[in-house]
Amino acid sequence: MESNGRTKVKELLNSTAYGSDVIVKGWVRTFRNDRFIAINDGSTINNIQAVVDFENTDASLLKRLTTGAAISVTGKLIESQGAGQKVEIQVKQLEILGDSDAEKFPLQPKKHSLEFLREIGHLRFRTNTFNAVFKVRHALAFAIHQFFNDRGFVYMHTPIITASDAEGAGEMFRVTSLDMANPPLSEDGKIDFKQDFFGRSTNLTVSGQLEGELAAMALGEIYTFGPTFRAENSNTTRHLAEFWMIEPEVAFNDLKDNAQLAESLLQFVIQYALENCADELEFLKNRLLEEEKSKPQDERSEMDLIAKLHLCSTSNFERLTYTEAIEILRNSTPNKKKKFKYLIENWGADLQSEHERYLVEKHFKKPVILTDYPKDIKSFYMRQNDDGKTVAAMDILFPGIGEIIGGSQREERLDLLEKRMHEMNIPADELYWYLDTRRFGTAPHAGFGLGFERLVLFVTGMTNIRDVIAFPRAPKTAEF
Ligand code: ATP
Ligand code: MN
């Protein structure tokens, strides 16, 4: 029992304490036949049924039992007569805590489209779908911390406001306290950021990696789990302007260790969700089956959601190099039949999501770890391989998602790192602090970034990334 005397619906639905008096507080989902109230309190996607003795209840009170109203019910827990539930409550006392005008409340007890629910994002938590999604999201976040904590990693909070615009992971949002309608100008007529809050131009971080490396080179094993921001104007179902990233960084790890850590992490957290979110995943599995009914047969998933999660959490991920992947793609049917939007002709081409998804969904039919990409399509800090052409990068590709993780072994050799920065026009003097790790006791190390929403997308079987974060931030979208 909670201190306010209420018992949660989740607990009551599993209770056999027939005959005892209980208090339930929650929101009305439906009220049928002037008798049956389905109450949801968020503790589970399942409702508890409360039966009203309508002949002895004030008609004006019954009228207020509308979808969305908050109520408190006191009554006797009894074995249910009806099908579909084990227990129900025989109402003795009924109190309306907060009315909900049925004419105006936008959620009706019927299926709403996800597009519509996005427009009423402030209310969509009240649907079963979003209840399930946010429960799974929570479980995954918890499992991530547990995974790292069990292995002795230190959780680092890297800065959200950064002055380094060197990483080049994406377009950045500027942070300023200047009056942008009337900014101070320097002699050359440009905005004088020396007069800005931090005395320099600053941005929202696109990644905590560089700072994470500094910590790893002393603490050994660290991870970050925080918000990152990219002003990329890509209106896709896989990109947000504000998303959460998990970035482990480990001293003395090479690329193979890095891939192993990533695989273990993903399998651990998926397994955790399977074990701890059974009801939610069952619901989401059925939601997806229902949604896919409207699709042509060949676009439907071959496996249901839970089978897919089992497969990915138990089978080894396929490991291959970029060069091997290019060969497979070059000889693939969609490439030969010119079905790809971007045809694979030459080594060096950047892989598009159509290629990534072909490899994962059609060719290997399981998660894939691609390694050793051409250096020209990857970041300056990735360790240069002996062939002079590739770097020790890795991307992990997941069915239905494409890239879920991007990572690498880092270039620990100062001379090679400085040379690469020069070639790529990265200002080495601004990043003196980063280079210091290579100057003083440098050592091999590796890490990766896992996009949290892409993980949640995969585990929930949702199709749009805006439906797995409470308040999505995307181009022209910052409501609520
Ligand atoms: P993509 O090619 O899909 O845009 P990226 O190569 O830019 O990804 P990284 O910079 O390697 O991605 O970031 C690490 C991880 O962060 C990615 O593997 C992905 O899971 C996630 N991620 C990257 N950009 C976004 C975004 N805009 N919204 C949500 N997640 C993202
Ligand atoms: Mn990107």
Protein residue with its CA nearest to atom 19 in ligand 1:
451
| Strand segments (E) across 338-389 | 368-374
Are the CB atoms for 252 and 444 separated by under 8 Å? yes
Q: What is the pLDDT of residue 379?
A: 95
Q: How far apart are CA 132 and CA 125, in angstroms?
A: 9
Among 419, 433, 408, 422, which residue's Cα sits nearest to residue 163?
Answer: 433
454: Cβ below 6 Å to ligand 1?
yes
By C-alpha distance, which of 390, 401, 406 is closest to 324?
A: 390
Q: Cβ-count burial of 115 within 10 angstroms (0-12 exposed, 13-18 middle, 19+ buried)?
A: exposed
Asked whether 26 lines ligand 1 (CB < 6 A), one says: no
The reply to whether ligand 1 has any atom less than 6 angstroms from the CB of 398 is no
Contact assessment for residue 309 and residue 281, using Cβ atoms and an 8 Å cutoff: yes
Residues 6+ apart with CB under 8 A from 204: 160, 161, 162, 172, 173, 175, 228, 229
Q: What is the pLDDT of residue 167?
A: 59
pLDDT of res. 300: 84
Beta bridge partners of 371: 321, 394
Cβ pair 28, 69 in contact under 8 A: yes
Residue 3 has pLDDT above 70, yes or no: no
Q: Residue 307: pLDDT above 80?
A: yes
Q: Which three-class secondary structure state does DSSP give residue 439?
A: helix
Q: Is the pLDDT of residue 297 over 80?
A: yes
Q: List the beta strands (DSSP E) in 301-411.
A: 318-321, 368-374, 390-398, 402-409
The pLDDT > 90 percentage for the chain reads: 91
DSSP per position, 126-163: GSHHHHHHHHHHHHHHHHHHHHHHHTT-EEE---SEE-
Average pLDDT of span 68-77? 98
For ligand 1, the distance from its centroid to the CA atom of residue 196, given in whole angstroms, is 30
| Complete edge-to-edge strand list for the sheet that includes strand 242-251 | 154-156, 221-229, 242-251, 445-451, 402-409, 390-398, 368-374, 318-321
Q: What CA–CA distance (Å, rounded) separates 161 from 174?
A: 9
| Lookup: tokens for 135 | 């429960």
Instruction: State the pLDDT at residue 332.
Output: 96
pLDDT of residue 81: 81
Q: What are phi and psi of 361, to 5 degrees?
A: -90, -35
- CA 357/CA 363 separation, integer angstroms: 9
pLDDT digits (tens, 9 = 90+) for 460-476: 999 999 999 999 999 99
Please give the pLDDT value at position 248: 98
Which of 144, 370, 401, 403, when mutated, tests ligand 1's pocket best, judged by the most ligand atoms within 8 Å of its CB?
403
Tens digit of each residue's pLDDT (9 = 90 or more) over 400-452: 999 999 999 999 999 999 999 999 999 999 999 999 999 999 999 999 999 99
What number is the average pLDDT over the span 138-164? Answer: 96
Q: What is the pLDDT of residue 83?
A: 78
Cβ atoms within 10 Å, residue 322:
23
Does the beta carbon of 406 sit less than 6 angstroms from any atom of ligand 1? yes
Helices then strands, each counted (H, E), the chain: 14, 16
What's the pLDDT at 170? 66
Q: Are strands 48-51 and 87-98 parallel, antiparallel or unpaired?
A: parallel
- Structure confidence at residue 145 as a pLDDT band (50, 70, 90): very high
pLDDT at 111 over 60: yes
Q: Which atom of ligand 1 is nearest to the CA of 240?
A: 28
CB distance 245 to ligand 1 below 6 Å: yes
Q: How far is the CA of 451 from the centre of ligand 1 (A)?
A: 6
The ligand 1 atom at the shortest distance from the C-alpha of residue 403 is 18
Ligand having the closest approach to the CA of 243: 1
Hey, what are 89's tokens? Answer: 């409550």
pLDDT number for residue 165: 62
Contacts of 156 (CB under 8 A, 6+ apart): 208, 211, 212, 215, 219, 222, 223, 224
* pLDDT beyond 90 at 1: no
- Cα(420)–Cα(320) distance, integer angstroms: 25
In sequence order, the 6+-apart residues with CB closer than 8 A to the CB of 181 are none
Nearest by Cα to 471 from 121, 237, 66: 121
Sheet containing 161-162: which strands, arranged edge to edge? 161-162, 202-204, 174-175
* Nearest in space to 262 (alpha carbons), one of 476, 390, 135, 408: 408
| pLDDT at residue number 298 | 79
Question: What's the average model confidence in pLDDT over 121-138?
Answer: 97
For residue range 214-227, list pLDDT tens digits in order.
999 999 999 999 99
Residues 6+ apart with CB under 8 A from 244: 225, 226, 227, 228, 451, 452, 453, 469
Query: With contact defined as beta carbons under 8 Å apart, do 288 and 305 qualify?
Result: yes
Q: Which of 204, 237, 243 to mutate to test the pocket of ligand 1 (most atoms within 8 A of CB)?
A: 243
Closest CA to 448 of 365, 370, 364, 357: 370
Confidence of residue 352 (pLDDT cuts 50, 70, 90): very high
Residue 79 has pLDDT above 60, yes or no: yes
Q: Would you say residue 180 has pLDDT above 80?
A: yes
pTM confidence score: 0.96
Q: Give the C-alpha separation, 15 to 48, whole Å.
A: 12
Residues with Cβ within 8 Å of 4's Cβ and at least 6 positions away in sequence, in order, are 23, 25
Q: Which atom of ligand 1 is nearest to the CA of 241?
A: 27
The H-or-E segment that residue 204 falls in is: strand 202-204
pLDDT for res 150: 98
Map out the domains of the chain with their CATH numbers: 9-105 (2.40.50.140), 126-171+206-467 (3.30.930.10)
pLDDT for the residue 334:
96
353 or 257: which leads in pLDDT: 257
| Type of residue at 283 | F
Q: What is the mean pLDDT of the chain?
A: 95
User: Among all ligands shown, which has an atom nearest to the Cα of 168?
Assistant: 1
